Structure 1
Amino acid sequence: MARRRDLHGQQERLSAATWAVLAEQGLPGLTLRAVAERAGCTTGMVLHAFADKRALLVHAREVLHDRTGVRADAAASTAGTPLDALRAVLLQAASTSAEKREEARVWIGFLAAALADPALAELHQRYNRSFVDRIGRLVAAVRPDWGRAACATAATTLVALVEGLNALAAVDPDTYGEPAQRSAIEAALARLNAG
């Protein structure tokens, strides 16, 4: 029993190290050695928990998906109107803080790796489609007069807006900081609500 707890603790430490390396150094810096150094352990310990770099990336993407899902659930559950819920979920997904910009850098690193790896691309598509579906349900609640196709188009547009802002803010937080992101999201929501 103690060995399982140790393994769980090691995985948590390695998970945090993987996240930090990917956020700080990007995909080129994500190596087993860099994760081991960050976690204060050997590369053998890293390999005991994660078979290879792909496993590190998958784990980072799963952590990101879980984190953002919990925040989206909380944001939607505390909002008043359907429009408020949509706004809250979009804003929680936007990189409006240092922590969220770090998440955006992890997302970008994973996306870059997914371009050349079909298994990583499939995982990215699954998680992204889950987000688009969530936004689509919220759009349908805001615009019950719209058909399925219109709601789907609005959802993909809103997700593209937020993810584009996240990518741009990861390298240019001065131009794409919180005020710019909020303004862009509010403008999109105003068009959605008026249309």
Structure 2
Amino acid sequence: MPRIVDHDQRRAELTEAVWSLIREQGLAGVTIRNLSERSGWSSGAIRHYLPNREAILNFAAQQIGERAWQRLQAIPTSDDLFQDFLNRLEVTLPLDEEGRVWLEVWLAFVGAAVSDQDFADAQGVLYRDLNAVFVEAFSGFAQRGWLPASDPQAAATEIHALLDGLSVHLLLHQITPQQARTTLQVALSRMLIDPGSA
């Protein structure tokens, strides 16, 4: 009887191995040989899923977006619209080990994107996807009268830039997780005003 292969599990294993290489050696350290050594898979098994280095790097970049989306989707909702949105914003910051891992990988791709258009395009997709989530959220707040001083696109750009900056500061250990949370909450409180609280 043929063995049943869990492809999702195998992709998850590959993700962990590729990300581990990127975190330790940068994008230059990602080769099929290194990935084989790190994952314990044969080169042939890796090529079955990812035929070359370009495919490996594209896969690693794609997984950043998928992990970010999974983390966002896992946040429970309540009747407190402000707190729910704040919770979703916080989960994009490297406040725990999982968030730190994928943001370190993201930062490696961002560095490469400065001089490589392919990487720039890949990171642009991730940025646009996340930005679209923010625009949609701020559009909902605007319809409820919560966004008096800005429009949804401008608000999304502002909060996205703040998250990027806080993420880098956290990765460099220049601020504490609590400082990041407080900064984010204060900024969001300035942007969103519950009309029912006036």
TM-score bracket for the superposition, by shorter chain length: 0.7 to 0.9
The separation in 1 between residues aligned to 2:3 and 2:125, in whole angstroms, is 33
The separation in 1 between residues aligned to 2:9 and 2:84, in whole angstroms, is 36
CA offsets, 1:2-28, max 9 Å, x none?
477277665443332112211333323
Aligned-residue offset at 1:189? 0.8
CA offsets, 1:15-61, max 9 Å, x none?
32112211333323323322111112344443342232221221112
The separation in 1 between residues aligned to 2:122 and 2:94, in whole angstroms, is 21
TM-score (normalizing by structure 2): 0.82
Larger relative helix fraction: 1
Which residue number in structure 1 is paired with residue 165 of structure 2? 164
Distance 1:2 1:125, change over 3 A: farther
Which residue number in structure 2 is paired with residue 68 of structure 1? 68
Aligned-residue offset at 1:95? 0.8
2:91 counterpart SS class: helix
**Does the 8 Å CA contact 2:36/2:43 hold for their aligned counterparts?**
yes
2:82 counterpart SS class: helix
Distance 1:79 1:61, change over 3 A: farther
1:95 counterpart SS class: coil
Which residue number in structure 2 is paired with residue 15 of structure 1? 15
Aligned length: 191
Distance 1:142 1:6, change over 3 A: closer
The separation in 1 between residues aligned to 2:9 and 2:99, in whole angstroms, is 25
Structure 1: gaps (5+ residues): none
Identity %: 25
When the two chains are superposed, the root-mean-square deviation of aligned CA atoms in Å is 2.7
Aligned-residue offset at 1:194? 4.5
Alignment of 1:63-102 (within 5 A): 63-75=63-75, 77-102=76-101
AA aligned opposite 2:47: L
The separation in 1 between residues aligned to 2:5 and 2:44, in whole angstroms, is 18
AA aligned opposite 1:59: F
TM-score (normalizing by structure 1): 0.83
Which residue number in structure 1 is paired with residue 131 of structure 2? 132
Aligned-residue offset at 1:80? 2.5
Aligned-residue offset at 1:90? 0.4
**Does the 8 Å CA contact 2:142/2:151 hold for their aligned counterparts?**
no
Relative contact order (alpha carbons < 8 A, sep ≥ 6): 1 or 2 greater? 1
Aligned-residue offset at 1:124? 1.8
Q: Which stretches of structure 1, 4 residues or longer, exceed 6 Å deviation after superposition?
A: none
Distance 1:164 1:13, change over 3 A: same
Structure 2: gaps (5+ residues): none
AA aligned opposite 1:32: I
Which residue number in structure 2 is paired with residue 106 of structure 1? 105
